[in-house]
Structure 1
Amino acid sequence: MGRKVIVSEFVTMDGVMENPVWTVPFNTVEQNQHKFEELLTCDALLLGRITYEGFAAAWPKMGETNTVVNQIRDFALPEGFADRMNNYPKYVVSRKKTQQQMNWNATLIQGDLKEEVLKLKGQPGKNILVLGSGELVRTLMQHDLVDEFRIMIFPVIQGNGRRLFTENINTMSLKHVNTKTLLSGAVELTYRPSKED
């Protein structure tokens, strides 16, 4: 069966994923525990360059305090969350980086993306988690490499900003797997691509 590639995203009601500080007013202990449990089902991260750079700058500090610090409201993380984020291997897709520039337990994916991701999926281990990384997600979709989408929709309309699904992506039919409604009003929808029988 192999490992699955799980795309897990925060989006607004109008589909914006960029700079998700708009999630902070809705952050709860329940949501953080839910995301931690998701992390426990995986043992590697697959990231685009911009997400990798942001995470690599922020997560080591969070590992020291177990707290997410931001301009709106700081909040604590479940015990062990930051340690796992910091210690998991990361596979980074970038045309601008070199392996020498990789830190935070990261390996640069070089060569054919589809081939490299299929190799990762074929290795023993738990699932591979994709966070943020909108451009990477769209490329993975083009190559039919996404096994599951977990889209957490927040009760916010942003109006503008980069969206997860853009106008020039291929049509894809999905099968609904689960809906989780959080006390904050955020809703997580889980879908898997429908495979033609």
Structure 2
Amino acid sequence: MGKVVAVSYVTLDGVFEEPAWSGPYFNDELGSWQDANLREADALLLGRKTYEGFKAAWPQMEAATGDFGKRMNSMPKHVATTTLTEPEWNATFLQGEVSEAVARLKAEPGTLLLNGSAELLNHLTRHNLVDEYRIMVYPVVVGEGRKLWHEGTRVALAHTGSWTTKTGVEVITYVPA
């Protein structure tokens, strides 16, 4: 049986979009942690917007990011989209209703790493399909922007661990309660 692990960057006020605010706080600790997340995963699970952003950026970053970039570019990607028609970058598009497609993927062994993709994260949370949430809370308030959690998304969580980087990023892990 597989699992979905969601990894998200958020500000103290819950904003996740355009994480340029994360740059000053990113360090080797977070880099190693992100590397471990990627190595543990068998495939990426992405929403269309994140897929398009990653697909545009990662192939050009492989030389600068070494093994991480190679892994990011070569691993399978499962993408939730109703508008794209030609999968690229080792992607397959989820067929049918998204929650049913992800449930089928979870019936197979392996870990699906869900990066960003707030629309997809909220949808899967509402359908009880996320097995673990790994949230990096950055010590910054931006005052505006899209929030990670949408109105109507509810989930009770159990804290399973946390640690703080030297730059003040709180990395918190939760599972559904």
TM-score by structure 1 length?
A: 0.87
Q: How far off its partner does 1:40 sit?
A: 1.1
Counterpart for residue 187 of structure 1: 170
Matches within 5 A, 1:147-166: 147-166=131-150
Moved more, 143-152 or 116-125: 116-125
1:97 and 2:84 matched: yes
Q: Which runs of 5+ in 2 are unaligned?
A: none
Q: Paired residue for 2:125, among 118, 135, 141?
A: 141
Residue type at the aligned position of 2:33: H
Moved more, 11-20 or 114-123: 114-123
Q: d(CA) in 2 for partners of 1:166 and 1:94?
A: 19
Q: d(CA) in 1 for partners of 2:103 and 2:17?
A: 28
CA distance change for structure 1 residues 166 and 112 in 2, over 3 Å: closer, same or farther?
closer
Counterpart for residue 75 of structure 2: 88
Q: CA RMSD in A?
A: 1.0
Counterpart for residue 59 of structure 1: 58
Q: d(CA) in 2 for partners of 1:21 and 1:110?
A: 33
Q: How far off its partner does 1:64 sit?
A: 2.5
Residue type at the aligned position of 1:147: D
Q: Paired residue for 2:97, among 109, 112, 115?
A: 112
Q: Which runs of 5+ in 1 are unaligned?
A: 67-78
The count of residues paired between Structure 1 and Structure 2 equals: 177
Q: d(CA) in 2 for partners of 1:38 and 1:147?
A: 14
Same amino acid, percent of matched pairs: 44
Q: Secondary structure at the match of 2:31?
A: helix
Q: d(CA) in 2 for partners of 1:83 and 1:21?
A: 23
Q: How far off its partner does 1:124 sit?
A: 2.7
Counterpart for residue 71 of structure 1: none
* Structure with bigger gyration radius: 1
Q: How far off its partner does 1:80 sit?
A: 1.0
Residue type at the aligned position of 2:156: S
1:131 and 2:115 matched: yes
Q: d(CA) in 1 for partners of 2:56 and 2:63?
A: 13
Q: d(CA) in 1 for partners of 2:112 and 2:126?
A: 18
